[in-house]
Amino acid sequence: PAIIRREDYRPPAWFIPTIALDFQLGLNQTVVHSMLDVRRSKSAKYQEPLLLDGDGLMPTSVKVDGAPWTDWQLIDGNLQIPLTGSAHEVEITVELDPSTNTQLMGLYASQGMLCTQCEAEGFRRITFFPDRPDILSRYSVRMEGDKKLFPVLLCNGDKVSEGDGDNGRHWAQWNDPWPKPSYLFALVAGDLVANTDSFTTRSGKPVELNIWVRDGDLPRTGHAMQALKDSMRWDEEVYGREYDLGLFNIVAVSDFNMGAMENKGLNVFNSRYILADPEVATDADFDGIEGVVAHEYFHNWSGNRVTCRDWFQLSLKEGFTVYRDQSFSADMGSAALKRIEDVRILRAAQFPEDAGPLAHPIRPDSYQEISNFYTATVYNKGAEVIRMMATLLGAERFRKGTDLYFDRHDGEAATCEDFVVAMEEGGDIDLSQFRGWYRTPGTPRVSAKLSHDPQTGTATLALKQSLAASGAKPEPSDMVIPLKIALLDPQTEAHEGEQLITLNRPEESFTFEGQKEHPILSINRGFSAPIILESSRTAEELAFLSSHDDDPFARFEAMQQLMTSYLLAQITGTPADRDVILQAVGAVLADENIDRAFLAELLLLPSEAFLGDQMVEVDPQAIHDAREKLRGKIGVQFERKFRRLYKQCVPGEFSLDAEARADRKLRNVTLGYIAASQVEDAAELAFDQYREANNMTAMQGALGVLSHMDADERTWAFEDFFKRFKDNALVLDKWFTLQAMSQRGDTVKRVESLAKHPDFTLSNPNRVRALYAGFTNNPVRFHDASGKGYQMLADMVIALDGQNPQTAARFIPSLGRWRRYERGRSELMRLALEKIAAAPGLSKDVSEQVSKSLA
């Protein structure tokens, strides 16, 4: 496949200021008629023909300036029309069959409704068009269809008229006053009902809000609606951005590749990010909904009003918008817990990507298939890069920078460079060196060593940074790394204030006067930089911080570090002191003032995947064994305390307030430890929790514990859960995931049989992810030494690729890091990749990821 390069960007030769679309809708046949007003760019050097992207389309009619036109040809699916003038009217008709569109890109059918997904390159599957984000057009859309099948007809912008047609058909005319790129086009037709509400913008303009769902789902839309209204207010208050249409529609769809899509005025959502009530959604689900609703809403400015010039700039809208949704969620709930969660996601998804064969800068230099670049690097590391700029500038100057960015580029297709320039000018700062973050892949490592001279009362912090190209040895680097630090006095347990220091050389020392005693270093507080820290702090110092650091992230991190070092030593057979961990855990358990939700975080062991990332050669079984042993030991040591806490956290009436959520969280964590201590009544306790639960958080927590056990209670609970929820697809997804994540030895077999379960289907991305992402997130079982897990995944990817390449390609990274595993597994992983590579007719999506993984 062709490689697209950032440096090859050329401005368009033709612009399309307006487009009029007419849809004659049908599930099996939809006729799309488009009328394009095409204008030759004044800067176009040559008399270039009009070239319109197309994917799987065949024109049934082409007209130019009103006359039938035969002088066109299809080249690689794209339509080329030689035109001599500087402005023409081009009319094209195509026919689509949405019911056979299993890729879920373009116009497709989902459970009787029609909907679209155009980002990044789906619009070319609907009609011929210059399908690139720097073409901004005004859209007017007429849609017509059967009134019974499609009582609701939605599109971007405002509905300007509607009426009934012949033969039980009806139509609607939608105009979007805001010029937009084709990837933001959306259309929905179906039998839907709305939760309707309203919002008054700060300048007094009323906005009608609708969340469209299937009939029975209406009671589950309240949380999403509240999140939408909160987001609208927050963007006004924090960024000064107001909504710009009289109508905002959201539609929930069951079959969807992504989480959601920010189409102008008509967001289309994966139903899992809309539908919730306590009975079916966990607290994490509620948070996911709030975050994604906010994310898509915030795109109205960071994405839609200011869009991307080309897809290499994807992080311009995604990194910034993730940063915005993270800040919003932090403001709505607990900032400390949110930050811990953000970093957990970064470490679970982005750090491995950055250290593996698919590593790329947040602004990539090349791609074969753009769908493969909707990555944790572009999104989450992109957000960290924005966060670092906000840290360096401070809130006020950062806001000046974003104001300048929005004002200067409103209505334009911009670049990452435009954003950085606006930050420099608005925030009055030189970011020349900081730009390294946009072009450099890999996670920087920073080593930190604090020394102390009691004579002079001086503490010296020596920092060194290095960076590795994938697989290579780290070399000294010179990234700009903002580090928030504090020096804690071991006697008073306090410090004299947090400081921001910036490391921008390969090596640098910072001195601090007036330190009578050797202080204890708290560094990268709040995770101020997305780096790997190698500090020379002792286990005792980390234990001290896990009890006394006043920065919640740093406190959490100290405990994680403490546990990680011990476990890594265990895995490699090096002596290590376990008592210091038990004492640290004992200390936080004895802390009277601690927030319960935060306590739950402190008690969690680092994940098996995270531990593997710290090793040169990963041995999933050894990691699992060491981790389970420590869990068991903590469970036994503090069993009485855990039981007491478990009882104290008994839930009352369901509420989403912080206290009630903290109780649910801590209750699940303590149940896990009680079970890990292998006490006789563990299964009974978990089963009681399952039976008595009035919410999904408690149910899922109980099932999670039971899932690993060999007990009748496990069978009963899973059978009961299936019976109860088999008609709710989102909850049934959990049933698949919980089993795929079981640590039991028979999990590989179970996953194999679940793949043949009547409720399993490759056609629904949520269901596929439920089973297989659950499984690949279960290191000890996915990496079964037999290689069976790898084979199953490879076979699934090959089968899915024929239907839905985008979703299939998402599973390659779990095999892609084969070089990091011990010899036996490594070879089996490689063989699985080779098998995929050898499959006939691979999509661009999968072939790019597989070939890069094997290279």
- Residue 663: contacted member of Zn ion, ligand DPP, none (CB under 5 to 8 Å, by partner type): none
CB of 133 to ligand DPP, least distance (A): 11
| Residue numbers 81-140 binding ligand DPP by CB under 6 A | 119
CB of 48 to ligand DPP, least distance (A): 30
Q: Are 319 and 382 in contact (CB under 8 A)?
A: yes
Question: Prior bond to 120 cis, omega within 30?
Answer: yes
CB of 602 to Zn ion, least distance (A): 32
* Closer residue to ligand DPP, CB minimum distance, 299 or 537: 299
User: What is the DSSP track for 497-515?
Assistant: --EEEEE-SSEEEEEE---
* Closer residue to Zn ion, CB minimum distance, 262 or 551: 262
CB of 308 to ligand DPP, least distance (A): 10
Q: Is 296 in the site for ligand DPP (CB under 6 A)?
A: yes
* Closer residue to Zn ion, CB minimum distance, 183 or 434: 183
Q: Where are the extended beta strands (E) located within 41-110? A: 50-52, 59-64, 67-68, 73-75, 78-81, 87-96, 106-110
| Residue numbers 555-594 binding Zn ion by CB under 5 A | none
Ramachandran quadrant class, 497 (left: phi over 0; alpha: psi -120 to 50; beta: rest): left
Q: Which of 32, 114, 188, 258 binds ligand DPP (CB under 6 A)?
A: 258
Q: Is 514 exposed, middle or buried (0-12, 13-18, 19+ CB in 10 A)?
A: exposed
* Closer residue to ligand DPP, CB minimum distance, 117 or 565: 117
Q: Count residues contacting ligand DPP (CB under 6 A)?
A: 9
Please give the backbone phi and psi of residue 846, each rounded to the nearest 5 degrees, phi first: -70, -40
> In angstroms, rounded to a whole number, what is the distance separating the alpha carbons of residues 634 and 599?
14
What does DSSP assign to residue 607?
P
Q: Which two tokens stand for residue 659?
A: 């206290």
Q: Which two tokens stand for residue 99?
A: 């019911």
* Closer residue to Zn ion, CB minimum distance, 294 or 487: 294
Q: Is 679 exposed, middle or buried (0-12, 13-18, 19+ CB in 10 A)?
A: middle
- Residue 261: contacted member of Zn ion, ligand DPP, none (CB under 5 to 8 Å, by partner type): ligand DPP
Q: Is 199 exposed, middle or buried (0-12, 13-18, 19+ CB in 10 A)?
A: middle
Give the nearest residue (CB) to ligand DPP.
261
> In angstroms, rounded to a whole number, what is the distance separating the alpha carbons of residues 15 and 92?
17
- Residue 481: contacted member of ligand DPP, Zn ion, none (CB under 5 to 8 Å, by partner type): none
What does DSSP assign to residue 123?
G
CB of 659 to ligand DPP, least distance (A): 32
- Residue 55: contacted member of ligand DPP, Zn ion, none (CB under 5 to 8 Å, by partner type): none
Kindly compute the dihedral angle of the four CA atoms of residues 763, 767, 769, 772, in this order, to the nearest 10 degrees. -100
- Residue 739: contacted member of ligand DPP, Zn ion, none (CB under 5 to 8 Å, by partner type): none
Name the segment binding ligand DPP (CB under 6 A); options: 156-164, 294-302, 449-457, 659-667.
Answer: 294-302
* Closer residue to ligand DPP, CB minimum distance, 235 or 541: 235
User: What is the DSSP track for 680-734?
Assistant: TTHHHHHHHHHHH-SSHHHHHHHHHHHHT--SHHHHHHHHHHHHHHTT-HHHHHH
- Identify the three-state secondary structure at position 95: strand
| Residue numbers 777-836 binding ligand DPP by CB under 6 A | none
* Closer residue to ligand DPP, CB minimum distance, 119 or 613: 119
CB of 230 to Zn ion, least distance (A): 18
* Closer residue to ligand DPP, CB minimum distance, 36 or 154: 154
**First CA to last CA distance, the chain:** 15
What angle (nearest 5°) sits at the alpha carbon of residue 806, between those of residues 827 and 268? 145
- Residue 784: contacted member of ligand DPP, Zn ion, none (CB under 5 to 8 Å, by partner type): none
| Residue numbers 295-334 binding Zn ion by CB under 5 A | 318, 321
- Residue 119: contacted member of ligand DPP, Zn ion, none (CB under 5 to 8 Å, by partner type): ligand DPP
Q: Is 295 in the site for ligand DPP (CB under 6 A)?
A: yes
Q: Which of 318, 325, 613, 619 binds ligand DPP (CB under 6 A)?
A: 318
| Residue numbers 340-399 binding ligand DPP by CB under 6 A | none
CB of 263 to Zn ion, least distance (A): 12
What residue type is 475 in one-letter code?
E
Q: Is 290 in the site for ligand DPP (CB under 6 A)?
A: no
* Closer residue to ligand DPP, CB minimum distance, 299 or 664: 299
CB of 376 to Zn ion, least distance (A): 13
- Residue 283: contacted member of Zn ion, ligand DPP, none (CB under 5 to 8 Å, by partner type): none
What residue type is 173 in one-letter code?
Q
- Residue 384: contacted member of ligand DPP, Zn ion, none (CB under 5 to 8 Å, by partner type): none
Name the segment binding ligand DPP (CB under 6 A); options: 22-30, 61-69, 258-266, 520-528.
Answer: 258-266
Q: Is 176 in the site for ligand DPP (CB under 6 A)?
A: no
Q: Which H or E run contains 16?
A: strand 14-24
What does DSSP assign to residue 306?
B
Q: What contacts 192, CB < 8 A, 6 or more positions away?
A: 113, 151, 152, 212, 213, 214, 251
Name the segment binding ligand DPP (CB under 6 A); options: 21-29, 169-177, 259-267, 579-587.
Answer: 259-267
| Residue numbers 335-394 binding Zn ion by CB under 5 A | none
- Residue 713: contacted member of ligand DPP, Zn ion, none (CB under 5 to 8 Å, by partner type): none
Which residues are registered as beta bridge partners of 249?
A: 210, 266
- Residue 260: contacted member of Zn ion, ligand DPP, none (CB under 5 to 8 Å, by partner type): ligand DPP
**CA–CA distances in Å: residue 695 to residues 31, 212, 228, 482, 675:** 46, 25, 23, 42, 21
| CA 244 and chain centroid, separation | 26
Q: Which H or E run contains 573?
A: none
Q: Which of 81, 92, 261, 414 binds ligand DPP (CB under 6 A)?
A: 261
CB of 448 to ligand DPP, least distance (A): 34
What does DSSP assign to residue 8?
G
* Closer residue to ligand DPP, CB minimum distance, 295 or 495: 295
CB of 282 to Zn ion, least distance (A): 23
Q: Which of 260, 448, 461, 485 binds ligand DPP (CB under 6 A)?
A: 260
Which residues are registered as beta bridge partners of 197?
A: 209
* Closer residue to ligand DPP, CB minimum distance, 264 or 714: 264
Q: Is 412 annotated in the active site?
A: no
Q: Which residues of 758-786 are buried (b: 16+ CB within 10 A; e: fewer)?
A: eebebebbbbbbbbbbbbbbbbbbbbbee
- Identify the three-state secondary structure at position 618: strand
| CA 203 and chain centroid, separation | 33
Q: Which two tokens stand for residue 106?
A: 């373009």
Catalytic residue (choose from 296, 369, 424, 608): 296
The long-range contacts involving 831-834, CB below 8 angstroms and separated by at least 24 positions, are: 831/787, 831/790, 832/787, 832/790, 832/791, 832/793, 832/794, 833/794
Q: What contacts 457, CB < 8 A, 6 or more positions away?
A: 513, 514, 515, 516
By rule CB under 6 A, what string of x and - marks binding of each residue 262-281 to ligand DPP?
Answer: x-------------------
CB of 655 to ligand DPP, least distance (A): 30
- Residue 562: contacted member of Zn ion, ligand DPP, none (CB under 5 to 8 Å, by partner type): none
* Closer residue to Zn ion, CB minimum distance, 34 or 321: 321
CB of 153 to Zn ion, least distance (A): 26
CB of 299 to Zn ion, least distance (A): 6
* Closer residue to ligand DPP, CB minimum distance, 378 or 450: 378
Catalytic residues: 296
Contact residues: ligand DPP, CB under 6 A: 119, 258, 260-262, 295-296, 299, 318
The residues of the shown chain that bind Zn ion, judged by CB under 5 A, are 318, 321
